[in-house]
Amino acid sequence: MFMKSRMFQLIATVALIAALAAPALAKEKAKGKANGGEFDFKKTSQFIREMEGRPDFPVATVIANDYVYTLLALGEKIDAGRQNAIIVNVKLGQQKNGGFTPDKTNKSASILYTDIALETLSLLDAGNAIDRAKVKSFAAALKNADGGFGFSAEAKKSSLATTYYAVHVLKAVKGLDTVEKAKTVEYVKSFAKKDGGFGPEKGTGVANARSTYMAAYVLNALGALDEATAKKAVQFLEKTPYLDKKSKERPDLDEQLYAIRTLKEVGAGNRVDKTIALNFMKRLYIRVNGGFGPLEGYGSTPDSTTTALRILSEIGKAKGAVPLVAKR
C-alpha cells in the first residue's frame, strides 16, 4: 500500500479525475455566476416535477399545492392536462358539508385542508370550480361560544391556528359577516404574551412568529389591529434571528416565513431583513437536486422547498404566486 509504485498510481489517478472534472466544475461556476451564485431554479423545477411520475398524481391536496405554488413561483407554466387533473382531484375532496379533506379517500373535512384547497384552486384561476356557499357554511359552523373556531366537525375545540384558518377561509369566500367579531377579537388577544408576540397557547408560554402572524391577520381582517398591538409585534420580532443578526437562536424555515408575513401584516414591511432571509435560504439550499431542506443539514423535501419559494417570493428573489380573488 505504501510502495512507491502504488503512490504514483494514486497521484496519477487523482490528476486524471481532476482534469476530467475541471470542465464540469467550470461550467457549474459559470452557471452560478449567471444566477448570482444563489440558486439553480432549473434543478428546483426538476425536483418538484419528479412528483409528476406518480401514477396517482397529484394524490393529495398538499402535494398539489406544493406543485402548483412552486412552479408558478418559478415563473413556469403548468400544462392544461396537469391543471385539470389537479382541479378534479381537489374538487373530489369537497364533502357534503362544504369542507375539504386531505385526499379523496378521506371523508373527514377540516378547516386546514379547506384553506389549502382554496389556495390551490385560486392559484389555477379555478376558485369557482367548487361550491363556495357550502365552504362558507362549513367554516361558519366551526364557530364556538368562546369566539374561536374548531378544526372540524369532530374536533370542535378552538385554537388560535384553527381560528386563523377559519377567518382566512371566510374572508376568501366573502363570509366575514358570519364572524362574531367582538368575541373573536377578544379570543385572539388572549394569546398575547408579555414580550409583544403571540403564542399557540393562552397564559404562560413562549411566543412565536407563526402565532403572531395568525393573530395579526385575524385582527387585521376584522378591523381590530390597533397601533399598540402592531408595535409590540415588531418589538417581539426584533429579538428573533429574523431581525437580530446577533441572535443565538437557531432559525426555523416556517418561522422565517411567518416573521416576514407578520411585518407586512402590521404595516412594517420595510423592516423585513432580506439579507438575513436570503442567507438563511442559501444555507438550506441543496445544490445536488435544487431543493431546500427544513433545517440546516437536512435533505430537501417538496414541502420545505415550497416554503422556501414562498420566502424567496416575499423578498423578491422569486416570481411569487399570488392567489386570485374569485370572480363573483
Q: Give which of 73, 84, 90 is closest to 131, Cα–Cα.
A: 90
With a cut of 50, say whether residue 11 has pLDDT above it: no
In this predicted structure, what is the pLDDT of residue 130? 95
Residues 243-287: tens digit of each pLDDT: 999 999 999 999 999 999 999 999 999 999 999 999 999 999 999
Determine what percent of the chain is predicted with pLDDT higher than 70. Answer: 87
Helices within the chain (DSSP H only): 4-34, 41-49, 61-73, 80-91, 111-123, 132-140, 160-172, 181-189, 209-221, 227-237, 253-265, 274-284, 302-314
Count how many residues are written for the chain: 328
Across 100-104, 146-150, 320-324, the highest mean pLDDT is recorded for 146-150
Instruction: Work out the mean pLDDT of the chain and round it to a whole number.
Output: 89
Are the C-beta atoms of 249 and 236 separated by less than 8 Å? no
**Confidence label for 324 from pLDDT (cuts 50, 70 and 90):** low
CB atoms near residue 169 (< 10 Å): 26
Q: Give which of 212, 209, 176 is closest to 192, Cα–Cα.
A: 212
Distance CA 192, CA 59 (A): 38
Residues 17-50: tens digit of each pLDDT: 333 333 433 443 444 333 445 899 999 999 999 9
In this predicted structure, what is the pLDDT of residue 38? 87
With a cut of 90, say whether residue 1 has pLDDT above it: no
With a cut of 50, say whether residue 10 has pLDDT above it: no
pTM: 0.87
Q: What is the mean pLDDT of residues 68-90?
A: 95
In this predicted structure, what is the pLDDT of residue 17? 33
Residue 30: which residues within 8 A CB-CB, separation 6 or more?
A: none
Are the C-beta atoms of 118 and 135 separated by less than 8 Å? yes
Residues 172-224: tens digit of each pLDDT: 999 999 999 999 999 999 999 999 999 999 988 999 999 999 999 999 999 99
Q: What is the mean pLDDT of residues 130-144?
A: 97
In this predicted structure, what is the pLDDT of residue 31? 42
Amino acid letter at 300?
Answer: S
Bridge partners, residue 94, by sequence: 100
In this predicted structure, what is the pLDDT of residue 37? 58
CA angle 195, 266, 320 (to 5 degrees): 120
